[in-house]
Amino acid sequence: MLNELKKSGEKHKEIMQFLRQNVKPGYTAQQIVSNIEDMIKTDISFMTEVNNGIAFPVGISINDCCAHWTVSGQYDDKVIGENDIVKIDFGVHQNGYIIDGATTLFFNNDPVYRQLCKASQIALVTAIKEFGIDKNLGEIGEAIQEVIESYEVEKNGKTYKCKPIFNLSGHKINQFTIHDNKAVPNVKIPYNARVTDNEIYAIEPFVTLDNGSTYEDKKDSSHFMLDKSNKFVNNNHKLLYDKFKTLPFCDKWVEKDIKYKDILKLVKKNVVKSYPPIYTTNKQPVAQFEKTVAMIDGNKYIFN
């Protein structure tokens, strides 16, 4: 497990460095996704992996979009603008051991964006320092919230407090399972789960302004994931499992084999889960930084 996580972590860091140096206004979402996927798929050490080592669809979440937007047959492509704030969230895996991480990019030196990013980054550093065996995950969430709410910004002559997005959280990761059975809250809640040894977590503070509430745009989804099951309801279900196991996937990856409407039929049968794009209810911008950390044989590792 450790060697696989380290290998995926090095690839994740390499791609992240490329993104920070190269993504500029005028880039399209498709270009960003293609660059990330190609940097994983063309690494021969990943070629025998499920989905060539790509752990889940690349998230390109712009401005008030928090998560779960990617290039899809259901959407037009998007061009990154000078005044956009862009969250890029992607994952790499070896043998199902996933490194999950995200960064936020902006290009116009906007003081609001700068403060949102700073709040997320410092909250992430604080959470990682708190992380350890027997640590209460609810208390880590309290620490994240305290950091984020210590920041405020001025916008259009009004002062806003930075706020964590309360219904998005970090999560435990297991082999071939991106969201396992424990969360890392971004707010103070009565949650008493604790970190134990040989566990992997993604920690990801989402920061916005004013209230931190969100909604799902359920008109179209691009992110999907299979439930764990050994029973296949039809050939499409089996094809998806053979290609992705229980790793998330997007409709664009299978559009030559399975129609979008047939994926939705599997959603209705409750064998595929759908994850629509998530937006802030007040249209305020969002920043997100994310790293994968683990306790393995009593030692803390930060992989990306």
Q: Which amino acid is at 140?
A: I
Cβ neighbours for 37, distance < 8 A, ≥ 6 positions apart: 54, 58
CA distance 290 to 185: 13
- Which range is least confidently modeled, 59-68, 154-163, 281-290? 154-163
Average pLDDT, the chain: 96
Judge whether residue 229 has pLDDT over 80: no
| pLDDT value at residue 175 | 96
| pLDDT value at residue 23 | 98
CA distance 68 to 61: 7
pLDDT category of residue 48 using cuts at 50, 70 and 90: confident
Cβ contact 224:51 at 8 Å: no
Task: Taking residues 231-258, report their average pLDDT.
Answer: 95
User: How is the chain split into domains, by residue range?
Assistant: 2-220+281-302, 222-275
Q: Which amino acid is at 57?
A: P
Residue 299, classed as helix, strand or coil, is strand
What is the helix, strand, coil percentage profile of the chain, to 5? Answer: 30, 30, 40
CATH superfamily entry for domain 2-220+281-302 = Creatinase/methionine aminopeptidase superfamily (3.90.230.10)
| This prediction's pTM | 0.96
What's the distance, CA 107 to chain centroid?
A: 21
Cβ contact 240:267 at 8 Å: no
